[in-house]
Amino acid sequence: MIRALLFFFFIATSAQAFTANEEGSNFTIYPVEYDITIMPYIIGDVQDGGHCYYVCHMTIKVISFANINVIEMDAIEMDIKGESIEVKVPMGNHSLVDKYTYNEDRGKLTINLKESLKPFKDNQYYFVKMSFKKYVSVDSPGVFLVRYFDEVHNSKYIIQTRLSPSLAKYFIPCFENPHFQSVFKLTVYLDPKGDKNNQLQYTNTSIFISEHTKEELLYDKRLVINYATSPKVRLSQVAFHHSQFGYIKTTSKYTNDTIIVWAPAFKLKNCDYILNYGEEILSFFRDYSLLNHESSKVERPFTSGPINIIAIPTKLRGYEIDSWNVLTNSEIRIIYNHKYSSIQQIERMNFELAQQLSRVWLGNPGEPTMTRWREEWFKEGLATYLAYCFMTQHNHGKGSKSSSNVESIRQLNYYGFQMKYKAMFEDWHHTNDLRPLLDFNNELAVNINSKELWKQLVTMKTASLLWMVENWIGSKRFHESLVKYINNKRGTEISLQDFMNQLDQDTVDCFKQSFSGINTSKVLMSWFTHSGYPVISVQVIRNNTPNIIELKQTRFSFTGQQSRESNYLIPISYLIEKKSNCNNCYQPQFTISRPTHTFVENLNNGWIILNTNASGYYRVNYDKYTWELIAKMLKNNPFTIGELNRAQIVNDVFALYVSGDMSQDLAMKILDYLDQEISLTVWESVLSGFEMLKIENAGCEMTKLIYSEWQRFLSKKLERYNWICKPLSRDSRETRLFRSKIVELALAIRDQTCSEQLYSHWLGMNKTRVVPDLRAASYYVAYEAFKNSFTKTDYNFNDYENEDRETAIKYFVRDDLFLDKLPKGEPRPANIVMPSNPVNVYKGYKGSAESLPVTFYLLSISILVSSVLNVITDIN
C-alpha cells in the first residue's frame, strides 16, 4: 500500500513538471499500467504462405488530471470488439462508457463517457478495458511476421515487435504520447502443436521486457506464461518476441549479468562469436567503471534480468536504441558465419552491439533507479564514443584484464579518425536540416535516429568533439573525470552542463597552466551552439625571426555557401619539422577564439603542421610554400609525419580542392607520395576524399575530363597493390580490412586491372560464392556486366551475399548518375612551371592560404603568354 501511494505521488508530481516542460502535449489522462493478455496464432498455409493474428484482452489503469468526458486512444488496423470496451472505477460494476467510435483511417478510438472522470485525488484511478484481434503480416509496421527456413527447409514464422519511434499504436490501443512512462504486465497463452489440417505452428519461445514468473499447463493443454511487472518504460521500449527459437547463454563472472542469444536452433553454433563479444563488452565496462577506484569493488549489474539478443532473419536498421534487455537486429548482425561474413560486416556487427550495450551501461529502465538523461542526443554521442573506445582496446589486444588501469586505455586513433570524417562529410551547409547539437535538446533519441542525417551528426559529431577534448586535456584526465561523473550520478539525472562542470573541476589546474583560463565547458559550448566546422588558414611570414604565423578561421563549405569568418573556440596543437631553437614545440597547446590569431615560432625554414594526432574537429589550409615543404617531405620521407597527420593532410587536401580553395596541380603534388603509403587509416582517408569529388555544385567545378584525371592519378598510385584484387587466403583482421578498403577504392576509381581480376574471380567462382572480402567489389563489376539479370533469385544469394549485392548496385547506380550529370569540360592548359618563393606577406586570397603576390605573379604570366599567343595568331 505504501509503495502504491509513493508511486501515485511520483506520478502526480512528475505530471506537474511534465506539463510545464512539454508544451502542447495531451496530458489530461495518464496510463499508469498496461495489463495485457495475448493469444498468438501462427498458421503456416502450404499454398498461400504463413499468416498470423493474435487475440488480446487488455486493461489499462489510468489517472485523470482534468474533468474529461471523452477518452481518445491510438489504434491502427485492429478489429476492436465494441462490446468489450469498458471504463470502470475499482471494484465498480457499471461501465462509464456511453458510446464509442473507431475511425480506421485516422487510427483513433474515441470513447464517450456517461459521466466525467474525476481529477486525480486520494488514489482515484480508473480501468479502461477492451478486447481486439490484430492480423499480422510481413509488411505490418510495429508488429510483423518474419519467415525463415529450418534445417530441412520447412517454412517457420516468428512474431516480432519494433515499436520505436512511434509504432506502438500498431501493436495495442494506447495513449501514445512519447513521454509517457508506464509499467507493463503480460500473460501469454500458447496453444499446443496443431494437427496437419489446421497447420498451426508450434511455438515454445516468448520473450518480453520482464522475466517470466511462472508457467501453467491448462486442462486443454494450453500453456500460460506469466511475466513479472516491468519497470516504468516508454511505449517505444516495449518489446515482444514469439517463435520456436533456441538459445545459448553466458554469465559475466564480474557483474553477474547474463547474456542470452536467441536464433533458430540449427544456427546457434554460429552465435558463440557474438555471445563472447557481448561478454567482453560487459567486462570492459565493469573495469572501466573502476578506473582509479580499485578500493571500492562495487560490481553493479548492467540491468535486472538477462540481456536477450535476438537474431531476426530479415533486414532491420540496427538495434532499437530504446531497447535495453530485448535487443533485436538482423541475423547477419548477430550470427557470425566464417564462410560468408565479410570483414566489413564483422566490423558493423561489432560496432552496433558495442554501441547498444554502451547505451545500456549509460542508463536503462532495468536499473534499481533509472539514470535519466536530460539531453538524449548527448547520451547517443557518448555511447558512440564509448563503443569505439571499447573496439580500440579489443582490436589491439587490450581486453578487460588490462583496461582497469587508466594508463592502459589506448586512444581511439583509427576509429576517432573514422567518426570525425563521417561527421564532417555531412556537417556543412548543404541542407536546411543541418542543426547545431544543442538544437536537439528537446528531441527524444528515437526521433533523432529516425533521420539518417541527424543520426550521423548527433552520434559521430558528438563523439568526435569528445575525442578532441580527450586529446586536449589528456586521456587520463578525461576518462577519470568521465567515469567519476557517471558513477556519482547513477540513479539520478545526468545533464550536459553538469558533465562539463565536472570536467572543469577535475582539470582546473591544467587550464591555469596551459590553456590561459579557457576551460572545457567553454570549448564544448562553442561547438555545441554552432553547426558546421571551420577551416584554419595558416600563413607563415618567413622573413621574420622568429617567424610570424597567422591563423584565420572561416566556416568550411564545399560550395562557398555559408562560408564566412567564424569564432569557434579551437584547441590548437602543432608539430614542426625542425625543432632546434623552437619556442614551444614540445608543449604546443593553446586555444583561439577570434577569427584571426597570431603567434611566433622558429620554423628554421621548415614546415609546420597543425592538429597533432588529427583529433581537432577542423580542417587546415597552409600557404603554398608550406604546402610544398610538406609535399617534399611526404615524397622523400613520408613516415617522418605520423600516420594520423598524414591521413588528415590527405583528407584536407581533397576537401580544399573540392571546395575550390586549392588548385588541382598543388593537390596532386601533395598526394604524389601515395604510391609509398602503407597505412589503412590513410587509404581510408583517400577513399573518403575521393567521395568528395562527387559533391554537387562544389567549388572545383568538376567535369568528366577532370574526374578521369583523378581516376588515372589514383590508379597509378595503386599499382603496387594490383595483387590485392586477386582472391587470397584469409589473414589477420588488419590485413583483411586493409585489403577490403584498397579494393573498394580501386572500384571507386574504376581501376581497369582490378576490375578485370574481380570479374575473372566472379566467373571462376561459378557466379555465386565469392570470397567474402571481395564480394561487394565483385558484385559491382558483375552488375555492370549483367544489370537486370543480377538478382537475388537468379543466383540464390544468402542474406550476407544479398546485402553486398544491394550495396554494390546502390553504389554503381549512384556513380553512373553522377557521371551522367557531369559536363564534359575542356582540357586543362599545359602547366606553367614557376619557382615557389617564401611568402613575405600574409594576406590570403579566395579564402585560402595561397598568397596574393604569388597569385598576382601567376596572373601576370598568364596575361603575358596570352598576349604572345594572340600576336602569333595575328601573324599567321
**Mean pLDDT computed over 97-103:** 95
Verdict on whether the full-model pTM lies above 0.85: yes
Neighbours of 138 (CB within 10 A): 14
How far, in Å, CA of 365 to CA of 646, rounded?
44
Q: What is residue 279's predicted lDDT score, i.e. its pLDDT?
A: 94
Backbone angles phi, psi at 696, to 5 degrees: -75, 145
Output the CA–CA distances (angstroms, integers) from residue 78 to 104, 173, 343, in the order listed.
8, 8, 44
pLDDT (0 to 100) of residue 764: 76
The two beta strands, 307-312 and 326-330, are parallel
Cα 529 to Cα 557: distance, rounded to the nearest angstrom: 18
Distance CA 531, CA 438 (A): 9
What per-residue confidence (pLDDT) applies to 333? 98
Angle in degrees, CA 403, 409, 411, rounded to 5: 150
Range with the lowest mean pLDDT among 253-257, 325-329, 365-369, 802-806?
A: 253-257
DSSP notation for 458-521: IIIIHHHHHHHHHHHH-HHHHHHHHHHHHHHTTTSEE-HHHHHHHHHHHTHHHHHHHSTT--HH
Q: Average pLDDT in the 655-682 region?
A: 97
pLDDT digits (tens, 9 = 90+) for 730-748: 678 888 999 999 999 999 9
Average pLDDT of the residues of the chain: 86
For residue 48, what pLDDT band results from cuts at 50, 70 and 90?
low
Bridge partners, residue 111, by sequence? 71, 100
Residue 500 near residue 521 (C-beta atoms within 8 A): yes
pLDDT above 60 for 491: yes
In the numeric block, which cell numbers belong to residue 585? 614545440
Per-residue pLDDT, 191 = 84
The per-residue pLDDT for 253 is 77
β-bridge pairing 240-243 and 155-161 = antiparallel
222's CB contacts (< 8 A; 6+ apart) are 189, 190, 191, 192
The tally of CA atoms less than 13 A away on the side-chain side of residue 670 is 27
Cβ atoms 443, 165 nearer than 8 A? no
Element at 554 (helix H, strand E): strand 547-555
**Arithmetic mean of pLDDT, 824-834:** 68
| 3 state SS of 695 | coil
Mean pLDDT of the region 626-639:
97
Please, what sign has the CA dihedral across residues 226, 231, 234, 238?
negative
User: Does residue 297 have a pLDDT over 60?
Assistant: no
Res. 848 pLDDT band, cuts 50 70 90: very low
Fold assignment, 248-370: Neutral Protease; domain 2 (1.10.390)
What pLDDT does residue 4 have? 44
The HSE-up count of residue 835 (CA atoms within 13 Å, CB side) is: 3
Confidence of residue 274 (pLDDT cuts 50, 70, 90): very high
Strand ranges (E), 803-864: 844-845, 848-851
Q: What is the pLDDT of residue 849?
A: 40
Predicted pLDDT of residue 597: 94
Task: State the burial class of residue 214 (Cβ atoms within 10 Å of its Cβ: 0-12, 13-18, 19+).
Answer: exposed
Give yes or no on whether 248-370 and 372-513+523-528 have one common fold.
yes
CATH class (in words) of the domain with range 25-244: mainly beta
- Residue 299 predicted with pLDDT over 80: no
The pLDDT tens digits of the residues spanning 155-196 come to 899 999 999 888 999 999 999 888 899 999 999 999 876 544
pLDDT category, 10, cuts 50, 70, 90? very low
pLDDT in tens, 190-200: 987 654 456 78
Q: What is the pLDDT of residue 824?
A: 94
Q: What is the mean pLDDT of residues 688-713?
A: 96
Alpha carbon distance 29, 98 (integer Å): 18
**Where are the domains positioned within the chain?**
25-244, 248-370, 372-513+523-528
Tens digits of residue pLDDT in 67-76: 999 999 999 9
Cell numbers at residue 6, please? 509513493
> What is the total residue count of the chain?
876
Going by C-alpha positions, the residue among 626, 627, 628, 619 that lies closest to residue 540 is 626
Residue 409 is predicted with a pLDDT of: 83
pLDDT at 729: 59
Q: How many alpha carbons fall within 13 Å on the CB side of residue 422? A: 21
Q: Is 700 strand, coil or helix?
A: coil
Return the closest-CA partner of residue 519 out of 593, 575, 461: 593
Q: Which residues of 170-207 are buried (b: 16+ CB within 10 A; e: fewer)?
A: bbbbbbbbbebbbbbbbbbbbbeeeeeeeebbebeebb
Q: Which residue has the higher pLDDT, 767 or 640?
A: 640
100 pLDDT more than 50: yes
> pLDDT tens, 212-271?
999 999 998 889 999 999 999 999 999 999 999 999 999 987 778 999 999 999 999 999
Please give the angle made by the CA atoms of 481, 487 and 490, to the nearest 5 degrees.
135
Closest CA to 236 of 255, 272, 209, 218: 209
The DSSP annotation for 43-108 comes to EEETTTEEEEEEEEEEEEEEEESS-EEEEEEE--S-EEEEEEEEEE-TT--S--EEEEEEETTTTE
Least confident of 272-286, 459-473, 567-581: 567-581
- Write down the pLDDT at residue 64: 93
Specify the pLDDT at position 839.
40
- Chain centroid, CA 846 distance in Å: 35
pLDDT band for 291, please (50, 70, 90 cuts). Answer: confident
Task: Measure CA of the first residue to CA of the last residue in the chain; give whole Å.
Answer: 107
CATH class of 372-513+523-528: mainly alpha
Residue pair 466/382 in contact by the 8 Å Cβ criterion: yes
Cβ atoms of 335 and 245 within 8 Å: the answer is no
**pLDDT of 23 higher than 70:** no
Higher pLDDT, 15 or 697: 697
Q: Cis omega (within 30 of 0) on the bond before 827? A: no
